[in-house]
Structure 1
Amino acid sequence: MRSLITTVRGNDDAADYLSWPGDFDLDRGDHVEPVHLACGAALEGFAGDGAGGTYFFCGDGGEERPVLYADSEGGAALLAIGLPELLRLLLVAPWWRDCRAFTAEESAELAEDWAEDVPDLAEQRDRAATALGLSLPTAPEALARLREVATGPGREYALVFTPENTPYAPLIEG
């Protein structure tokens, strides 16, 4: 089976959408500072965003590993259990960072704002999802799952700034 990372790299529709509006770039896997997981599990940076944030695989294995996101301001959260779940989130709710309450109403408002800026957003998203072979949840479903992962299993994946042995702040409170 072909990896999703390989599929993203090989498909312009998927790579373009994930790059923007997803703000997910497979060529930015280096984090700005030395970090580790408090639990001692392996940490592998594999993508980043335009603001200096990094996506990490946690533990050993492949694309099914939990995915942690760390921003450049000292915040972190477990976003998904596996790359497919992360990509579904980025496809249907690229505005996830702007959500604070994780309600359907908040998501609908943000979706409307994004649709004004990118009128063919849904068409681009659907082409990318088809290229990746992913079925899509609704944005409220994806955001509810994000919150569930971040505040449930995410507690096991505390990111630590290694030189000072200080934890990153949670990006999503539970």
Structure 2
Amino acid sequence: MSLLDAIRTHPAADDYLTWPGEFDTSRTYEHVEEVVLASGEALEVVAKDGAGGTYFLCGEGGEERPVLYADSEGGAALLAVGLPELVRLLLAAPFWRDCRELTAREHAEAVEDYLEDDPGLLAERAPAAAALGLEVPTAEAALARLREVALGLGESYVLLNAEEGLAYRPLLTP
């Protein structure tokens, strides 16, 4: 069974990844505008977030392909090398978007803010990870890997508006 199928068939995993992970696999329609990779590689929509952002698998192959995220405002970043790595990031650091410097301290502050409104928010993380057979790294390790991927390999994954040919701005910068 693929990881996407496992997410869809395990309610604990699907629910946790939809929120707080912002990775809704039931929403696989196109991005807010037509986009292409500058390299010409294929893009496959695998999920959306609640704000119009889109997760894409890049190139040909299976779930080991790089995962690119594009927001609805013209920003994009390569987040992971493979869907399992992305899911581990979302389990460990679901509020990565609130971490401009990609630090564990920023993420801990974001978690505190969210927990004020929903104290049980993270209670389903362990059952979600167990349902998928994934170990959850620390937020610090997940954010360090995100920085490594986005600022290293990510330079090779430039997303373009297909109509105008303009590049999306990098979501994550050094």
**TM-score calculated relative to the size of structure 2:** 0.95
Q: Distance in 2 between matches of 1:5 and 1:147?
A: 24
Query: How far has the Cα of 1:49 moved from its partner?
Result: 0.7
Unaligned runs of 5+ in 1: none
Question: Counterpart in 1 of 2:24?
Answer: 25
% identity of equivalent residues: 62
Determine helix, strand or coil for the equivalent of 2:20.
Answer: coil
Q: Distance in 1 between matches of 2:21 and 2:93?
A: 8
| Matches for 1:36-115 after TM superposition, within 5 Å | 36-115=36-115
Question: Counterpart in 1 of 2:173?
Answer: 173
Determine helix, strand or coil for the equivalent of 1:135.
Answer: coil
Determine helix, strand or coil for the equivalent of 1:131.
Answer: helix
**TM-score calculated relative to the size of structure 1:** 0.95
Query: How far has the Cα of 1:106 moved from its partner?
Result: 1.4
Shift >6 Å, 4+ stretches? none
Question: Counterpart in 2 of 1:16?
Answer: 15
Question: Counterpart in 1 of 2:2?
Answer: 3
Q: Deviations over 1:89-125 (max 9, x none)?
A: 1111111111011122212212222333332233300
Unaligned runs of 5+ in 2: none
Q: Deviations over 1:127-169 (max 9, x none)?
A: 1000000001001111111111000000000000010000000
CA contact (8 A) 1:28 1:54 kept: no
